Structure 1
Amino acid sequence: MLSKYLIISFGVLKACILYILRVGVTDQMTEPTQRGFLVFLGKQLESSDVTPSMKIAALRTLSYTLKTLGEVPLEFKELFDSTIVVAVSHSSQLVRIEAALALRVLAEVDPTCVGGLISYVVTTLSASRDNVSFEKGSNLKIELDSLNGQTTVLAALVSISPKLPLGYPAR
């Protein structure tokens, strides 16, 4: 019973922290500061000592900041592969989901990247599916996490399609 209340308390605490980050920090920033904040969040995601909860908060704040800006800054695009794309294969399912949602926001903010994202996900999904082997022992979980992350991203990109001005890319 106590663990149930601790889980609820943690959820409330996380919601409060995210609210403070959105309203108290991000909304008060100027546009140049928000651009720098995106880079800061990206560098935090690259750090090895970040817990899954911190990654979730960073990804959610990153998504909110991208939506607020309405564009993807060039300086953040340089960190893209080492942040969100890496988080898609994280061992925590919640981090993978949050990374997929961040990619969905990225596609919503910059519809020109949808073709590249879908192509990347389908290619990676095919490669992951072909590489999964039940004889790999401890690597199987890592490969299945990656496969799950790629399918989650594909689902997130499909869910955003009605909002895309040009729909899906032909390829």
Structure 2
Amino acid sequence: MSAPEFSRVERLDAIGSEPREVTVSAKEAERAALASRFGLLAIDRLEGRFTVWQEAAGIGVRGRVTATVTQACSVTGDPVPAQVDEEVILRFVHPAGARAPAGDEDEHELAGEEIDTVEIEGGGIDLGETAAETMALALDPFPRAPRAAEVLREAGVISEEEARPANPFAALKAKLGGDA
């Protein structure tokens, strides 16, 4: 597997039990490569601001990912600007069978049921890839440009509301002879 386009690895041995602020920001070439990977027209800005700390269960990460992107309308292909402002709460955990570094639990421990977990690969956690994946997951999977509805109407596509009968039993009534 090739290295991520936007990689900012925080080494495990540099992460202590005290929270530490880490900010990552994608450069122009990284944004262009990520736009290609995620099928976007452009990524004008991608940043992650994280607090990281070591805890008994792994590495806790809490923060926010912000981005300015341009998606292609799923109907017309027209550019659709989008903003991402997404909270991140993760726990990076050691692979099953691997030993976690010794350390005491502290007050920064994240509640296990409330967060996603990501397996630690190698000797660090990649906050650049975390920011990139968070951005991609936050985007509208079917962005619509202002003229999308008009283009669909012209193509003969009707809305769900237009397709739904006023009386959901009308079709059944007609099939049964009208007096059901």
User: What TM-score range do you get, normalising by the shorter chain?
Assistant: under 0.3
Q: Which entry has the higher C-alpha Rg, 1 or 2?
A: 2
TM-score, structure 1 as length reference? 0.24
Judging by fraction of residues, say which structure has more helix.
1
